[in-house]
Amino acid sequence: KRIILLASGSGSNVENIITYFGKHEQVAVSAVLTNKNTAYVLERCKKLKVPALYFNKTAFLDTSVVFDFLIAQNPDLIVLAGFLWKIPQELVTAFPNKIVNIHPALLPKYGGKGMYGTKVHEAVKENGETETGITIHYVNENYDEGGIIHQAKTNISPHDTPEQIAEKVHALEYEHFPKVLENILLKNG
Ligand code: GRF
């Protein structure tokens, strides 16, 4: 089974997933795609020896580039791990229930365009939430709206800074994301 990861930033989840499947019998990460040629995820892929490709907005929206690459690769799962662009309808249609995203909050709250990074944790803190968490969901043509696959929660206190909340959420991501992906890929046989 092959996974292709899409990321726009640091790529700590990308590294965690690559490492988790590093010695796996049935699952491998075949490539990482990024829309930021300065993203640290590129450094991580170099170190981990996983092919990483950069593409710009034109290439992403021009279905003859990224779309054709993904069709040719025909991955079993396309995984968004901190990828900040909406997925074009053609791609959603071409890979039904095969595009998965992780969001650092308990959707449907704190989701949607612009809700990413510390903005999410600031909003959670602002609203005095006593818990937050992660949502792993299928991707459709709107931000953070597809069917929810898995959620995990963590308690937070009013004293927690957004950075401390982010740390608690990242810990959940590292613990849950690879296992959820493994279940999706191997459960479907
Ligand atoms: C993660 O918090 C993830 O939930 C969100 O973007 C962040 C990516 O972090 N979608 P990293 O690039 O994997 O470190």
CA torsion angle 154 158 163 164 (round to 10):
-50
pLDDT tens for residues 128-166? 999 999 999 999 888 888 999 999 999 999 999 999 999
185 lines ligand 1 (CB under 6 A): no
Mean pLDDT of the chain, nearest integer: 95
Instruction: Identify any residues that bridge with 134 across adjacent strands, giving them in sequence order.
Output: 152
* Spatial distance between the Cα atoms of 125 and 119, rounded to a whole number of angstroms: 10
With a threshold of 0.85, tell me whether the complex ipTM lies above it. Answer: yes
Amino acid 189: pLDDT: 45
| Catalytic residue list contains 121 | no
**Atom number of ligand 1 nearest to Cα 40:** 12
Note the pTM of the prediction, 2 decimals: 0.96
Could you read off the pLDDT of 12-42 as tens digits, one per residue?
A: 999 999 999 999 999 999 999 999 999 999 9
Q: Do the beta carbons of residue 132 and residue 165 sit within 8 Å?
A: yes
Identified catalytic residue from 103, 121, 150, 170: 103
Angle at 85 between CA 34 and CA 19, to 5 degrees: 40
Cα 51 to ligand 1 centroid, rounded to whole Å:
20
12 exposed, middle or buried (CB, 10 Å; 0-12, 13-18, 19+)?
Answer: middle
Question: Does 11 carry a binding-site annotation?
Answer: yes
Q: Tell me how long the chain is.
A: 189
Question: In whole angstroms, how far apart are CA 175 and each of 16, 69, 96?
Answer: 9, 30, 26
Rg (CA), the chain: 16
Copy the structure tokens of residue 109.
């709250």
Residue bearing the CA closest to ligand 1, atom 3:
82
Q: Is 112 annotated as a binding residue?
A: no
Ligand 1 mean position to 80 CA, how many Å? Answer: 9
Give the β-pairing of 131-138 and 148-155. Answer: antiparallel
Q: What is the CA angle 16-114-63, rounded to 5?
A: 75
Q: Does 10 sit in the ligand 1 pocket, CB within 6 Å?
A: yes
81 CA → ligand 1 middle, Å: 6
